[in-house]
Amino acid sequence: MMKSRRQIGIVVGLGFFLGWGTQFADPLQAEPATSIASSTPVSQAASQQPPEFFDLQQIRPGLKGSGLTVIEGTQPEPFPVDIIGLVKKAGPGGSDLVLVRVGGAVVDKAGGIAAGMSGSPIYIGNQLLGALGYGFELADHSLGLVTPAPEMAKVLAQVTSAAAATRAPSTPSTATEPAPPSAPPKEPAKKEAQKDGSDTVGGTPQGSLAEATGVGFDRVAIAPALEVGRRWQQELGEKVGVFVPVSVPVMVTGLSGRAMERLRQGLARYPVQLAVGLGGSAAGESTSATPPDLKWPAPGQAFAVQLVRGDVDVSALGTITWVDGDRFVGFGHPFLNKGAVHFFVGPAAMVGSVPSVSMPFKVGYPLAAQGTLLQDRSAAVAGQVGQLPSTVQVDVRVQEDGQPRAHTQAEIVWDEELVGSLGSSVLLQAVDRALDRVGQGSATVTVTANVEGIDSPLSRVNLFSSPVDIAAEAVSEAAELMDLVASNPFTAARLTRLSVKVDVVSRRNEAEILRVKAPSGPVHPGDKVQLEVTLLPYRGEQQTRILVLQLPQDLPEGPLTVSVRGGDTYGTGSAGTTDPGAPPDKSGKSSGSADMYAAWLGGEKPPASLADLLNEFVTREHNNDLIAEYWVSPQETGASTGSREAMSLPPASAPESSGRLAKDGQKASTESAPTDGRRGQVVQTKLPTPYVVNGWIDVDLDVVAADKGAVSEPVNPPASNP
């Protein structure tokens, strides 16, 4: 922390999701406004028509105004406002902001400007000045900044019609992360600043406050990050107020512990923080019934932006600034700054406000969603009443040792950049809630999903085992599927429903491959070779399994290396622990989700459509499969002759998974994968077991032509698998 005799004030956006701006110069020390007059709501406050805007050129110290906000319940209350001055080019998009002081019984009840008041409309007479958008943390809580109405109108204009609420499944994001400049901005000459009135420093907007305000600085600059702002402040001096973006809480209910931490990591690239909220509801239902006399939306009313609703709720609270028919605008600053979005939006009820030295904050909860938030820009958020956004319905049922434990339902907005983090947190919470422990165990997991554009539901059953964390292991594939659909390169699609059934037992159903016996003599093309595999179950007795590997008729002579491994070997199960809620890497893809494209390393034919990709997911190897395989190089396919190089893959470079062999999972089978001319074909057999199979052993066979010796007897006599 920079040491200074000056008090540090932090400017914070007043929504529960986004705060905006830290001021490192002297705090605003304007004299208390003793002449703030009480006012009543202006006529536009109850109107569904757009108000007339106040001309910013007419801003001058001493003007009186009024605002509207909700502190308790759902009805807006007025509060008086004193205008201090205009801050030129201080907004995040380079717009002007208006410095104000608020007061009155409503503000006193809130403890000053409180988080959740963002969007509160500020009027001068019957004209709308804009929205209360920023407050000063650790400073005078009666001081705030107003985002002018014309800037917010630009955002509202992008919500064009009710049809816009019908979401295309893959709306591109416009979110950007500005890189901090390497050097602090330089203060331009005052004459130049006065001449054009729109100077910037290092590409960063700045301007001067209205004179005679006595606020302690005369210029402001916007830094891209906290550490950059501190350095700038030291070099620019105390007469320049430096603002940087900071985070404020996301209200979350239904998540706790590591599920909350998982969501925090997943949203780390956004300027948000998580906080425990109130409420929670079943999917599609409100936390509390909306009062029948509530005519929503209207200026000054509270509203909630929801990313998840149901047994888990993730919401931001703010205030509506004005309404134009079925459209509305609020916040006065960004939410996630994603541009075009499709999130739940609806009225909210306030319980009250919690005083804080840092900054007071409102406490409330969402009511029934009534529309869609469609725009998320630097000056405001805007939405439309009517159609709700596209979502994925998540349903998780968990039982342990045959006894039902918990049933979790949630509805998650389908945003390709957010659904992975939101979904994996919900899935993990569902199992954690049911088990109420973190530890070893095994789980049979059934995942059923409906995907937009795919006629038949997807279904996959797999066995998982973990020595330390069966809950996280059990939901790994369900989380992967969600990420797979969202990030697929073929077509815009979404999961419409994801059902997960988790059957947990406390024992570890897993086994290691101890040894493999292969025929000691030569083998011939076309033979069925028996491999005797010894398994050691966890804390159990050794068991034997027989794998029968069919050799092709055109297999050339020479040494042949056969790999015997478990279906868990490639890292999609307990041997390679997965983290379904891991934060995205630089590409934006979750590092905890299995990379399906690794399945085509070395030349296996990749999928050509989303249907192919999903089929690969559903039919790929299972953790409880016992597998024997070898690769045939391209020149050996067909009737080729000559020496042959064994193509057995070591675990580190082996394809992650493959559905090319999956049938009904009841018996061993042998098939060949297609070749693209580079790697060749894989010959493989697999056998399901009651265990998650770990381990990898290679055995060598000697292939000779059939006319060079008698057909060898298998080392192992025919046997049935237990």
pLDDT of 180 higher than 70: no
Q: Which of 222-236, 312-326, 388-402 has the lowest mean pLDDT?
A: 222-236
CA distance 344 to 326: 15
Give the burial class of 505: count Cβ atoms within 10 A of its Cβ; 0-12 exposed, 13-18 middle, 19 or more buried. middle
pLDDT of residue 683: 85
Higher pLDDT, 352 or 50: 50
Domains of the chain: 249-385 (no CATH), 391-505 (3.30.1490), 510-570+621-708 (no CATH)
- Here the tokens at position 150 are 């014309």
- Here the tokens at position 269 are 């690239």
CA distance 554 to 539: 44
Block residue for tokens 């380079």: 94
Q: Which of 55-59, 142-146, 251-255, 357-361 has the lowest mean pLDDT?
A: 357-361
Q: Which of 103-107, 380-384, 512-516, 679-683 has the lowest mean pLDDT?
A: 679-683
417: Cα within 13 Å, side-chain hemisphere:
22
Give the dihedral of Cα atoms 471, 476, 477, 480; nearest 10 deg.
Answer: 150
pLDDT of residue 145: 84
pLDDT of 170 higher than 80: no
CA distance 378 to 90: 12
pLDDT tens profile 329-369: 998 888 888 999 999 999 998 886 666 555 566 677 889 99
pLDDT of residue 269: 84
Residues 6+ apart with CB under 8 A from 686: 567, 621, 625, 626, 627, 628, 661, 668, 669
CA distance 666 to 217: 77
Residues 6+ apart with CB under 8 A from 43: 126
pLDDT of residue 204: 40
DSSP lists the bridge partners of residue 346 as 304
Highest mean pLDDT among 63-72, 158-167, 539-548, 563-572: 539-548
pLDDT of residue 609: 94
* Mean pLDDT computed over 380-403: 96
pLDDT of residue 143: 79
Backbone angles phi, psi at 512, to 5 degrees: -105, 145
CA distance 80 to 179: 40
Coil, strand or helix: which one is 451? Answer: strand
- pLDDT confidence bin for 395, thresholds 50/70/90: very high
Higher pLDDT, 368 or 160: 368
Residues 6+ apart with CB under 8 A from 194: none
- Residue-wise DSSP of 626-661: EEEEEEE-GGGSSS--S-----PPPGGGS-S---TT
Q: What is the largest CA-CA distance in the chain?
A: 110
pLDDT of 166 higher than 50: no
pLDDT tens profile 68-83: 999 888 999 999 999 9
* Percentage of the chain modeled with pLDDT above 70: 63
- pLDDT confidence bin for 253, thresholds 50/70/90: very high
CA distance 261 to 267: 10
Q: How far is CA 265 from CA 481, 538, 540, in A?
A: 19, 34, 39
Nearest to 477 by CA among 570, 407, 405, 415: 570
pLDDT of residue 350: 83
- pLDDT confidence bin for 94, thresholds 50/70/90: confident
pTM over 0.75: yes
Query: Whole-number mean pLDDT of the chain?
Result: 74
pLDDT tens profile 429-471: 999 999 999 999 999 999 999 999 999 999 999 999 999 999 9
- Here the tokens at position 408 are 């979790």
pLDDT tens profile 561-594: 999 999 877 543 333 334 444 433 433 333 333 3
- Here the tokens at position 643 are 């020496």
- Which residue type does 279 have? G
* Mean pLDDT computed over 168-197: 39
* Percentage of the chain modeled with pLDDT above 90: 46
pLDDT of 708 higher than 70: no
- Residue-wise DSSP of 505-573: ESS--EEEEEEEE--SS-B-TT-EEEEEEEEEETTS--EEEEEEEEPPTTPPSEEEEEEEEETTTTTTS
